[in-house]
Structure 1
Amino acid sequence: MLGLASTGTLAFAEEAKVGESVERIQVTGSHIKRQDLEGPSPLTSISSEDIAKTGVTDLIGLFTKLPISGQGTFSTQGNSSDDTANGGSSVSIRGLGADSTLILVNGRRVSVSPFAKGIDTAFVDINNIPLSAIKRVDILKDGASATYGSDAIAGVINIVLKDDFEGVELSAKVGGTSDGGGDEQNFSMLWGSGGDGVNHTFIVDYYKRGEILYADRDYSRSANQAGLTGRADAVDFRSSSGFPGTIALRSDPTDRMPDTFGNDVCPADQIVGDLCRYDYAPHMTMVPSTERFSFNYMGSYEINDSVTAFTELNGQNARSTIKGAGSPSFNELFMDGDNVNHPFANDPTHPYYQQDLTMRRRMVDIGNRLKEADTDYYRSVIGVKGFTNNWDWELAYSYIKNETTEQGVDGFPNMRRVQEAIDSGLWNPFEPSANSAESLAYIETTTNRIGKSTNRSFDGSISGSIMNLEHGELMLGVGFEHRTESISDNPDDQYIRGEIFGTEATQANGERDNNAIFAELGAPILENLEMQFAIRYEDYSDFGTTTDPKVAFLWAPSEDMTVRGSWGTAFRAPSLHQLGLGRTDESPNLVDTVRCNAVGNVNKACEPQEYTAVFEGNPDLGPEESESYNVGVIYEFDNNLSFSVDYYNYAIENIIDSDTQFVFTNFGADPAVVERIPTADPADPGEVVTIFDSFQNIGDLNTSGLDIDIQYALDTDMGAFNFNYVLNYVLEFEDLRPGANGGQRVNAVEGDFEQPEIRWTFNSSWAVENMSASLAVNYIGEFAGSADAGFADKTVDAMTTVDVTYSYLVDENMTLTLGVTNLFNEEPPFSHHDFMGFVNSTHSGQGRFGYAKVVYKL
């Protein structure tokens, strides 16, 4: 379904105004405007027509189908009340991370989301760009810091917007899922005009999608995967914080019992051992409801025959609603032995009589958590471009602002007020049905988190011919860029004071300036051999300088064969989130190996559980650095059949990350690193209260693999057929992290959890007269279960889905399209690692989605 143009000889390119008789074009991955479409770097282009055939409604839906997308690609699927980047989506090329994939719009950078993913991953939210505004998407699949600077370790995605449309086009699309939830509506209007040196293209787009809850899918409707699936090796992920909860001695939280006394008791089917558990899955968002309204304007004006002014204006408002189960507390709340609501105040025979108590409790009585995220995104570019003596030049200023407000509107308790209400007797945690509306209103609060990111840049470039060589022109491109970036992510004071429990929030503030100069040389060494040399120097205000070179070649030993290759270095600057993160609470699933080794599986110490980890930024971080190369061959058997294979290899050093499990395991007995509740048993280190962690340059990563692309076209009496097979095969993926005695250990390899070795798509299309149809098969290979969750010996099976479309040209103005994605309603393969029973970072839980679309042109 994706008719991909790949390779240098097949690359699409953006037209650029030139003088005289020679037209030069701009290719993603080069600053030199060229006379042909060929380039030495592996490039894939996807046109707007190709995107329409996939049936996707947003960019992340497209990228998750591409074989080059790997671990670190994330969509709004999996957003919950605990997520730190609700409503956001981004893509990770080759599994190297969303922050190592540079996203451009019309060849220029855009601002990152003010809210980092997973508290530290800075990313460009591709949901800000509606499909209706996209002319094509270029994917450069090699390191490109020599051309574009930081973050281009894995490659570059350049989103090219429509700028040359004439007329009016109206589009409407509606669709829904077979299993419930996720209904979509999308309406857009495209208007353009041109003439007398003036061009305008204006697009407005409205998109709305309903929520999907984990309760809407049979395989994720309960966190008790053992009971849901009947599998002996499945896990019961129900929370140990139940409702009304579990009571324990404050002096020894391991001496506890479920709440089975009084009028309000823990349901019998939620009692496991000495804990009252809670099934939170039915209340959790799998995909949040979303509503977006966007506008895009592209304009140009010819000042004279050689100078053109241009402007780009883009904006969007997006709103998402995220749901989660009631807030959990884990021994944060206490009740004195003489409290008026003490459950055993009148029973001197009970062991807990007049004893100070603590509890694990789910705050269901004030409702389930509900967050609303509201984002405003603005992008503006103004510039001039032209040509002088056959040299193309361009100057531009851009300003991008991304503002998000996230409000917790329901189900959020203020811990200070909750404790005050317990102490005063206003609120009884053990008898929720007896509590007044006044007491509930007192303990509940609303929360606010306000984020803003900006990007201001001024850039200029010039390219042209230095001289004529024997085999062509020696081309030079030089330029500069000055950029100022800032981010602020500020939750309200309740989070800062630690008064909101059970929900994560980040705090980060930072600003940096960057100055860069770059140069590129294109040299025709032989009639059939072209070389590219590029270098870029960067100076950052917060960590120093870096210089990155690149060398590439394109060689055509015959008319049918082309060989290409490139080598270069790249870097990723520490994100402003990683440098400037304030105290931030996380709730990772970890294993307390220190306590497990000391006393065994007491309170599930040997099993993965949620713990509170406190992170802070590290202003001493250095950049990640990489070296990469690729070699590829393109062979055109005839005009109908072509084949390409590319080998890639990346070596990345000084990866910026945190490894809380490593810290927990190796420093779990250090009270400065892990705070615990003291116990009377000297052999028992005690239950964990808080783990303290930060970001470090802690690891290295090596990966290599093959990209294969086969395209075949066939014209018959029954119509025109096109077939395309694209495969990514990971030969090596070795993620190295700190090990014992200052050495390194292997943290992950190819085929490990979330690291399938094989991804491929097969796309076919057919067209005859006023009809067309397409069929696509999408394959994600199997991979091992989660080692961190204790299931490395298990396998997460492969997943194959089928998408189909049919289009009918009603008349010269109207086209009707019907389509289905995941035609056979394939369920995501089972995974032991988490409560939803599947890997929501890799596999989709949307299920079968059918849609109808009509396009009308005036």
Structure 2
Amino acid sequence: MTYKLPLSALSIAVLIGMNQQVNAEETEQVERIEVTGSHIKRTDLEGPSPIQSLSAADLASTGSTDLIGALQKLPVSGAGTFSTQGNSSDDTANGGSSVALRGLGASSTLVLINGRRVAVSPFAKDIETSFVDLNTIPVSSVKRIDILKDGASATYGSDAVAGVINIILRDDIDGFEVAAKLSDTADGGADEQNFTILWGSSTQNGHHNFSLDYFKRGHLTYADRDYTASADQRFRGGNNSLSSAGYPGSVEVVRSMLTDEQWARLPVVRTEDDGTQVRQTTFADIWGNDTCDPALDIGNICRYDFASHMTAIPSTERISFNYNGVQEIMDGVEGFAEISAQHTSTFIQGAGSPSFTELFMDGDNPNHPLFNDPDHFLHGVDISMRRRTVDIGNRKKDVDSEYYRAVLGARGEWQAWSWEIAYSAIRSSAVEKGFDGFPNKIRAQQAIDEGLWNPFEPSTNTEAGLAFFETTTTRYGASTMQSLDGTVSGELFELGAGYVAAAFGFEHRYEKIEDNPDSQYIRGEIFGTEATQANGDRDNTAIFAEFSVPLLDTLELQLALRYEDYSDFGTTTDPKVAFRWAPLDSLVVRGSWGTAFRAPSLVQLHLGRTDESPSVIDRERCRQTGADDDCSPYEYTAIVSGNKNLQPEESENYNLGVVWQATEDFSIGVDYWNYEQEDLIKKIGAQKLVDCCGTDPNLVVRAPNQGSTLGRILTINDTFVNIGGRETDGFDVNLAYALTTQELGEFKFNYNLTYALSFEEQSFASDEQGNSFNLSEDLNGEYQHPEFRWTAGVDWAKNDWLANISVNYIDSYRDLADSEGNKYKIDSWTTVDTSVSYIGVEKLTVTLGASNLFNEEAPLAPSESMGIDNKTHSILGRQAYVKFAYQF
């Protein structure tokens, strides 16, 4: 069904407001502004909720050319934050990035632009995470970013569980500006060019701001860094994560395909206590002319080092246009508009496509590796294979994305009330094309059967034979959102300590998502590469109210309530109560309590069958066999699908803090925060399913057991479920100090710390009888959950010179458990960013800077294939840059 919000509704509302407009009294008033986290305009920025603001200068001082580079360094950013780093041919959201506040997930962090919602990316991250792609917003268009660090569903609705990132667009350009930035890394790769043109005009009747931004980043592979150039990380003390799909590969036999006589001929690897003989079923290809490299023949599996072929950071080219304007329509009424457009091209590369027993060869096929050896135990045996199709090249993909956003609205005053109404239309679309290295399973099997392709003797194959089963792939996605919203705010009546202010409003929103791979994916003909399929839509209507009550001259109470009605799962009502108490001019005590929710994403509800190929350690089988291929990461096929019976996540949060302005130059803020979530929506994950429920045939499908020895895993069935809950708490510390000297200039010092006290999450476990139950575990200090992070910096200014230096610290944490249950300690990581600017030439600013000045390598994370935790640390190393900006 096609749904469109009528433009006439906006036009009528504007006309009504214009007709009812009265001339404002010409009395001097204190300007009131709307701050993030409230619809009521106020005279001060320090409200009941904790907000951290980043100015354009703060963003520039990080040295980052995109928003994610700056935001992921914030201590409040946690597990689930991701950039384009780690994108590969297996990624399901190439080119995207987002932030997860408090580590509660990117889908639990609401991203706004000028206080309004943005459509999510058409492609979900890691199959399950819907997110707003921060790369659609160029840094040059940003005036300020407000980070609201408590739950805000009562104000903004779904997804504002962990907090809100509100991106305020520039409205202060007056004249013409040009800027250019060039950067490169010390170890090569990921060089950047950024060119910006800004134009704006400002008069008493309005302002208009335009920006045109071009950004280009070069390709970076894991081979470009010595410490990630191999998936065999044993030289660093890590794991051997070489792929179990090698080249020319391994022969694998399946019991159901063998006769009893053929099965009895297989080598015996051990005899169990009951006399059962456990047979070897996997053999590295060591026959003929093309054989497995002996150095890669590990545990009877022909391995493959895919690291050198894998994208660490994809090449990207973006061009963006933004307009942000306000124009007076009549006395006291102004119209406003925001228009954005962006085109992005991204290139990703991965190693040759892996095959996990999808392909077979009959025992009488002339290309059978033992066809001419009648005495061999595999002679005449039907076999499957575990290999990579290196024959047809590395997988390569191009992703072309388009993003459009338009907001049209009006606001004004009617008697003592302010009103605002706006219509928004947003569309984000992408086309992903696989143009090299992708095999079609049906045609590959046909090529084997007809002798067109010999997977065991790659050197004998012809271009025509390989071209027969190589294919191209296409995936199209689109995410659209239309909304109509309106608010009125003003003062209701006078209380003893002042006026009770209120805001009332509504929002009606329609969302649709399409993610459609081509028919080959849908028919299951493409193996070794992930692609999602999801189609769904919903509409939502919300009404909300907010009150600011001055109980005392020093005590303000904030009350908020929001009711939402969703077309696909029902209704929800969320309240919030907050207070601000200022017993002294220099002291503010604040606190808040509220509930929040996250509606199931359209992907989680409507995802079709999707295959992925995670690396899993089969710990139970490892305990039984002790074999290297059971005790080290091994790739399996996991089947993921959506669940239309999901219920929304519900949460409760509270915050208590104090801000003390000790002197004019020194302030300190401390906030305690606590979040408790229920009915978490999660894809359990292949490793957890194997750990908890590895003997449950509904979840983990295995080959038949050999005696008491578990059969090898064939497939893992995963899906989205509402599971248990999560609770986390901790505190933030913010220090600021300004020092002015006559000789040395002006200094501004800052320190920001986020310290998590706990991060308890429920997950699946099972008993010896295979009964599943929820188990709570504290993830604080565990994988991707460092207990604390902090940044410290100093800004300096004197005459024509500006400089800054900042230190970013991420605490150590424990890695995922290995096959024996041991957890490696991932070291803490400290990096330094710095820049120096010269402003001595009129209207010209020249900046030299570097991120990760001392080129600190990311610490070892053994559980990761390349030994680096891409969502917590960076592979870039030192990135030096020069920037020029000129104002006309």
Cα distance change on mapping 1:672 and 1:732 into 2, 3 Å: closer
Q: Residues 709-734 of structure 1, C-alpha deviation per residue, up to 9 Å, x if partnerless?
A: 01000110121100000001111111
Q: Residues 678-726 of structure 1, C-alpha deviation per residue, up to 9 Å, x if partnerless?
A: 36x3434422221112111102111111100010001101211000000
Q: Residues 519-568 of structure 1, C-alpha deviation per residue, up to 9 Å, x if partnerless?
A: 00001111111110000000111111111000111111111111011010
Q: Does 1:625 align with 2:650?
A: yes
Q: Residue 312 of structure 1 aligns with which residue?
A: 338
Aligned-partner Cα distance in 2 for 1:354–1:588: 32
Bigger drift between 250-259 and 790-799 goes to 250-259
Bigger drift between 753-762 and 356-365 goes to 356-365
Aligned-partner Cα distance in 2 for 1:787–1:340: 45
Cα distance change on mapping 1:356 and 1:742 into 2, 3 Å: closer
Q: Residue 61 of structure 1 aligns with which residue?
A: 69
Which amino acid is the alignment partner of residue 205 of structure 1?
D
Which amino acid is the alignment partner of residue 721 of structure 2?
Q
Q: Residues 169-212 of structure 1, C-alpha deviation per residue, up to 9 Å, x if partnerless?
A: 00000010001101000000000013362421110000000111
Corresponding residue SS for 1:219: helix
Q: Does 1:705 align with 2:730?
A: yes
Q: Residue 242 of structure 1 aligns with which residue?
A: 246
Cα distance change on mapping 1:594 and 1:797 into 2, 3 Å: closer
Aligned-partner Cα distance in 2 for 1:461–1:841: 38
Where do residues 382-421 of structure 1 align in structure 2 (5 Å cutoff)? 382-421=408-447
Corresponding residue SS for 1:663: helix
Where do residues 554-703 of structure 1 align in structure 2 (5 Å cutoff)? 554-593=580-619, 595-596=621-622, 599-602=624-627, 604-660=629-685, 661-678=687-704, 681-703=706-728
Aligned-partner Cα distance in 1 for 2:523–2:619: 30
Runs (4+) of structure 1 exceeding 4 A deviation are 17-20, 740-743, 788-792
Q: 1:736 aligns with which of 749, 762, 767?
A: 762
Cα distance change on mapping 1:154 and 1:197 into 2, 3 Å: same
Cα deviation for residue 376 of structure 1 reads 0.3
8 A contact 2:296–2:302 mirrored in 1: yes
Q: 1:817 aligns with which of 847, 854, 869?
A: 847
Which amino acid is the alignment partner of residue 406 of structure 2?
S
Q: 1:40 aligns with which of 29, 33, 48?
A: 48
Corresponding residue SS for 1:614: strand
8 A contact 1:594–1:669 mirrored in 2: no
Cα distance change on mapping 1:240 and 1:19 into 2, 3 Å: farther
Q: 1:769 aligns with which of 796, 799, 814?
A: 799
Q: Residue 286 of structure 1 aligns with which residue?
A: 312
Q: Residues 493-542 of structure 1, C-alpha deviation per residue, up to 9 Å, x if partnerless?
A: 11111111111111111101100000000011111111100000001111
Aligned-partner Cα distance in 2 for 1:569–1:746: 22
Cα deviation for residue 667 of structure 1 reads 4.1
Q: CA RMSD in A?
A: 1.7
Aligned-partner Cα distance in 2 for 1:94–1:35: 29
8 A contact 2:243–2:634 mirrored in 1: no
8 A contact 2:757–2:787 mirrored in 1: yes
Q: Residues 285-334 of structure 1, C-alpha deviation per residue, up to 9 Å, x if partnerless?
A: 11111111000011222111111111110111111111111011122111
Corresponding residue SS for 1:30: coil
Q: Does 1:843 align with 2:868?
A: no
- 5+ residue gaps in structure 2? 1-22, 264-278
Q: Residues 737-788 of structure 1, C-alpha deviation per residue, up to 9 Å, x if partnerless?
A: 2344665313442111111111000010110111111000000001112137
8 A contact 2:128–2:683 mirrored in 1: no
Cα deviation for residue 791 of structure 1 reads 5.9
Q: Residue 9 of structure 1 aligns with which residue?
A: none
Aligned-partner Cα distance in 2 for 1:43–1:788: 40
Aligned-partner Cα distance in 1 for 2:658–2:373: 83
Which amino acid is the alignment partner of residue 328 of structure 1?
P
Corresponding residue SS for 1:531: strand
Cα distance change on mapping 1:672 and 1:709 into 2, 3 Å: closer
- Normalising by structure 2, what TM-score? 0.92
Cα deviation for residue 280 of structure 1 reads 0.5
Q: 2:390 aligns with which of 364, 369, 381?
A: 364
Q: Does 1:834 align with 2:864?
A: yes
Aligned-partner Cα distance in 1 for 2:583–2:494: 22
Aligned-partner Cα distance in 2 for 1:198–1:41: 31
Corresponding residue SS for 1:433: helix
Q: Does 1:719 align with 2:745?
A: yes
8 A contact 2:575–2:594 mirrored in 1: yes
Aligned-partner Cα distance in 2 for 1:605–1:725: 47
Cα deviation for residue 841 of structure 1 reads 1.1
Cα deviation for residue 98 of structure 1 reads 0.3
Where do residues 114-153 of structure 1 align in structure 2 (5 Å cutoff)? 114-153=122-161
Q: Residue 779 of structure 2 aligns with which residue?
A: 749
Corresponding residue SS for 1:188: strand
Cα distance change on mapping 1:573 and 1:19 into 2, 3 Å: farther
Cα distance change on mapping 1:24 and 1:351 into 2, 3 Å: same
Aligned-partner Cα distance in 2 for 1:19–1:359: 83
Q: Residue 378 of structure 1 aligns with which residue?
A: 404
Corresponding residue SS for 1:99: helix
Q: Residues 363-416 of structure 1, C-alpha deviation per residue, up to 9 Å, x if partnerless?
A: 111001111111101100001111111211001000000001111111111111
Aligned-partner Cα distance in 2 for 1:569–1:637: 33
Aligned-partner Cα distance in 2 for 1:74–1:662: 22
Corresponding residue SS for 1:51: helix
Corresponding residue SS for 1:751: coil
Cα deviation for residue 164 of structure 1 reads 3.1
- Normalising by structure 1, what TM-score? 0.95
Cα distance change on mapping 1:831 and 1:700 into 2, 3 Å: same
Which amino acid is the alignment partner of residue 435 of structure 1?
N
Corresponding residue SS for 1:66: coil
Which amino acid is the alignment partner of residue 258 of structure 1?
A
8 A contact 1:254–1:603 mirrored in 2: no
Q: Does 1:209 align with 2:217?
A: yes
Which amino acid is the alignment partner of residue 351 of structure 2?
A
Aligned-partner Cα distance in 2 for 1:554–1:591: 51
Cα distance change on mapping 1:781 and 1:789 into 2, 3 Å: farther
Aligned-partner Cα distance in 1 for 2:840–2:613: 55
Which amino acid is the alignment partner of residue 644 of structure 1?
G
8 A contact 1:753–1:787 mirrored in 2: no
Q: What is the aligned length?
A: 836
Aligned-partner Cα distance in 2 for 1:667–1:272: 28
Corresponding residue SS for 1:786: strand
Corresponding residue SS for 1:418: helix
Which amino acid is the alignment partner of residue 766 of structure 1?
W
Q: Does 1:332 align with 2:336?
A: no
8 A contact 1:89–1:125 mirrored in 2: yes
Bigger drift between 697-706 and 663-672 goes to 663-672
Bigger drift between 616-625 and 356-365 goes to 356-365
8 A contact 2:484–2:508 mirrored in 1: yes
Corresponding residue SS for 2:758: strand
Which amino acid is the alignment partner of residue 806 of structure 1?
V
8 A contact 1:347–1:353 mirrored in 2: yes
Aligned-partner Cα distance in 2 for 1:87–1:789: 33
Which amino acid is the alignment partner of residue 774 of structure 1?
N
8 A contact 1:245–1:266 mirrored in 2: yes
Q: Residue 807 of structure 1 aligns with which residue?
A: 837
Aligned-partner Cα distance in 2 for 1:313–1:19: 34
Q: Residue 5 of structure 1 aligns with which residue?
A: none
Q: Does 1:483 align with 2:491?
A: no
Identity %: 55
Q: Residue 191 of structure 2 aligns with which residue?
A: 183
Which amino acid is the alignment partner of residue 440 of structure 2?
N
Q: Residues 201-230 of structure 1, C-alpha deviation per residue, up to 9 Å, x if partnerless?
A: 11000000011111011111000111x32x
Aligned-partner Cα distance in 2 for 1:206–1:502: 35
